[in-house]
Structures are given as structure tokens and as C-alpha cells.
Amino acid sequence: MAVKALLSMFLSVGGTDISDHVRDCNVTADATALSSEAMGDAWEEVTGGVKSGMLNFTLLDDFAASSIDSIIWSAFNTGTNVAFEVRPDSAVVGTSNPKYTGSVHPGQWRMGGQYNTMAQKQLSWKISGALTRATS
């Protein structure tokens, strides 16, 4: 197996490929650890509960028509969940380049920055429903 340098990640939001503005991107998936020990157990036990996830990403901001600010604001302002896809590489999906897909609640919009820095948006959107991994 080979480790992977993240130089060409793929991220699409609402069907739009925004990879060329992505500075960093990660997906988290968590399962609730329900405490399930009972009398007679000397060690804590857990049972997996509901799963949830987050799509965290930082974008170089862009105010051109139909670009980053327009896309993010539109999703936020509309308020309905949007589809996303993340791949470690923009190359075709495969066993070494799985795609993670799902739906996210676009619950954050950001704008700003300090003088003489790049304008960026750092966003954390909550995944709604299943996070799916596929290799084809």
C-alpha cells in the first residue's frame, strides 16, 4: 500500500466541481458509543448507535459570477441539503481512489479575512443521511 500526498483532491458540492478552490478538505464519520455494560461486567462495554459525519473544508474565496461565494451563499440561503462527493484524487474512482458521497446540510456561510491574507471560507457542514464509500 502507498501513502498518499494530497495534491489533487476532488470536491463537488451540489454537482459543481470546486476542487480548484479547495485548500483542505476532510470528512469525518462517527458512531455513537452507547454504554451497554450491566451487572457482572468489570469493564465498560459499548454498542454502536447512530452514525453521523461532517464535511469540513476550506476554500479560497471567489466572488466571480457563479463561483465560490455564489455557490456557497446559494446553498446556505436556500437551506436544503445538497449532494457532495469527495475523492482523495481527482483521477477516476477506483480501489485506491474511493469516492465518498452523501448529502450535507449547508449550515454555514463565511466571508472575510485579515488585510494582506487570502480571502477564504472555512466551513463545516453536517452530513445528513448515509455517507457512502464506493470504488467504482
Partner 1 sequence: MAVQAVLNAFLYCDEWDATGDSRELALSADSTALDATTFRAAVAADNGWEITQGGAKKFTGSFNGFWRAATTPAPDAELFTNLGVTGRVLTQGMRESEGTVAYLSRIAQISYREFGAYNTLAPFSLNVVGSHNPGLVRGALAKAAGAVSATGALGTGIQLGAVGASQFLYATFHLLVAATTITVVVESDDNSGFTTPTTRATIGPLTVAGGTWITPVAGAITDDWWRMRVTAITGTHTVAGAIGIQ
Q: How far apart are alpha carbons 75 and 107 in whole angstroms?
A: 9
Q: Does 84 bind partner 1 (CB under 8 A)?
A: no
Residues 3-62 touching partner 1, rule: CB under 8 A, are 20-21, 50-53, 60-62
For 11-25, letters b (16+ CB in 10 Å) and e give bbbbeeebeebbeeb
Q: Does 136 bind partner 1 (CB under 8 A)?
A: no
What's at 104, amino acid-wise? V
Q: How far apart are alpha carbons 99 and 106 in whole angstroms?
A: 20
- Please, are residues 21 and 60 in contact by the beta-carbon 8 Å criterion? yes
Smallest gap from Cβ 40 to partner 1, in A, equals 28
Residue from the set 9, 10, 11, 69 that interacts with partner 1 by CB under 8 A: 69
Residue from the set 56, 58, 67, 101 that interacts with partner 1 by CB under 8 A: 67
Smallest gap from Cβ 48 to partner 1, in A, equals 9
Residues 93-112 touching partner 1, rule: CB under 8 A, are 105-112
